[in-house]
């Protein structure tokens, strides 16, 4: 059972409009993998449930996690005011993460949209072989990321570990349109896709990849309550019957958030 663990804020800063980067010193960094997430507790005692936030990065010493989040409510608004040295409580590490090992010697395309971009940064690091005595996994790493407009974030970091292409809804940077438009415009040919973003984007990637017989592993975003699979509050429809609920459902928080796109109905 995952337990509530204390951590300490290293630094917390706004990196784009209402987008914050939070580094936390915590023992959870030792076991964190790309695509996993943690639950972050607020200081409000009337709020029992933590906010789920994807892991963006792990430092080389595996002593700290980076969370990049958007301010959308009271909980994340509170996080935006956290100062260095502040103690904070986390639940984790949660979820299954991306199966990046299967991209060995392949052209791996990482696709992120909006606040779904942060989880692919640590994935890009792993695939490109960044870190102490770590060999590259993929033959080539390409990131295709989508934003609303020119107010981008994490681009420079992604460019350290992958070749990056950008799509914006208004055409102010890169391809005008979405990440699939950029994929087509640049004539990118993936061997395997890893993606995180809003459901319409993931649905589009599933519909693009499956007819081409390209494996796509997608991280589903969903509102969560417990984060450990007990409440069945975050489920998606699957092709196979779930052993826990005995219906065509999977719990995104524990069975996911990453799924083979061929196994889920979205």
Domain ranges of the chain: 3-94, 107-213
Distance in angstroms (rounded) separating the CA atoms of residues 175 and 146: 9
**136 with 101: CB under 8 angstroms?**
no
Confidence band of 198 (pLDDT split at 50, 70, 90):
very high
What is the reported pLDDT for 225? Answer: 47
Q: Is the peptide bond before 257 cis (omega within 30 degrees of 0)?
A: yes
What number of residues does the chain have? Answer: 266
Check residue 238 and give its pLDDT.
61
**Does pLDDT of 21 surpass 90?**
yes
Distances (CA, A) of 158 to 18, 81, 163, 201: 20, 26, 8, 20
Which pLDDT score is estimated for 236?
Answer: 52
- Are 90 and 19 contacting, i.e. CB atoms less than 8 angstroms apart? no
What lies within 8 Å, CB to CB, of 78 at 6+ separation is 42, 43, 44
Per-residue pLDDT tens over the stretch 26-70: 999 999 999 999 999 998 876 777 889 999 999 999 999 999 999
3-94 and 107-213 in the same fold: no
Tokens encoding 8: 């300490």
Which CATH number is 3-94 given? 2.40.30.10
| Exposed e or buried b per residue across 177-205, where buried means at least 16 C-beta atoms within 10 angstroms of its C-beta | bbbbbbbeeeebebebbbbbbeeebbebb
Whole-structure pTM value = 0.89
107-213 folds as Rossmann fold (3.40.50)
Q: Which of 29, 23, 20 is nearest to 131 (CA)?
A: 29
Cβ neighbours for 29, distance < 8 A, ≥ 6 positions apart: 58, 59, 62, 63, 64, 65
């Amino acid at each position: 059972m995952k337990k509530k663990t204390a951590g300490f804020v290293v630094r917390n800063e706004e990196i784009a409009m209402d987008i914050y980067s939070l580094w936390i010193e915590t023992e959870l960094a030792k076991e964190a993998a790309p695509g996993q997430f943690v639950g972050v507790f607020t200081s409000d005692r009337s709020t029992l449930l933590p906010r789920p936030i994807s892991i963006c990065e792990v430092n080389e010493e595996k002593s700290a996690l980076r969370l990049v989040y958007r301010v959308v409510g009271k909980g994340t608004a509170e996080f935006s005011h956290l100062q260095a040295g502040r103690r904070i409580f986390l639940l984790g590490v949660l979820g299954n993460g991306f199966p990046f090992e299967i991209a060995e010697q392949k052209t791996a395309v990482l696709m992120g949209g909006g606040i779904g971009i942060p989880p692919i940064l640590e994935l890009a690091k792993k695939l490109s072989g960044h870190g102490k005595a770590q060999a590259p996994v993929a033959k080539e790493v390409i990131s295709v990321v989508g934003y609303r407009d020119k107010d981008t974030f994490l681009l420079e970091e992604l460019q350290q570990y992958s070749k990056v292409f950008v799509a914006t809804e208004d055409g102010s940077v890169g391809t005008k349109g979405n990440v699939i438009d950029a994929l087509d415009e640049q004539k990118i040919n993936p061997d395997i896709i890893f993606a995180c973003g809003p459901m319409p984007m993931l649905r589009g990637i599933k519909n693009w990849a499956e007819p081409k017989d390209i494996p796509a592993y997608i991280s589903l975003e969903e509102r969560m309550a417990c984060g450990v699979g007990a409440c069945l509050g975050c489920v998606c429809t699957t092709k196979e019957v779930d052993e826990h609920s005995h219906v065509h459902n999977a719990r995104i928080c524990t069975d996911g958030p990453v799924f083979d796109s061929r196994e889920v109905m979205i």
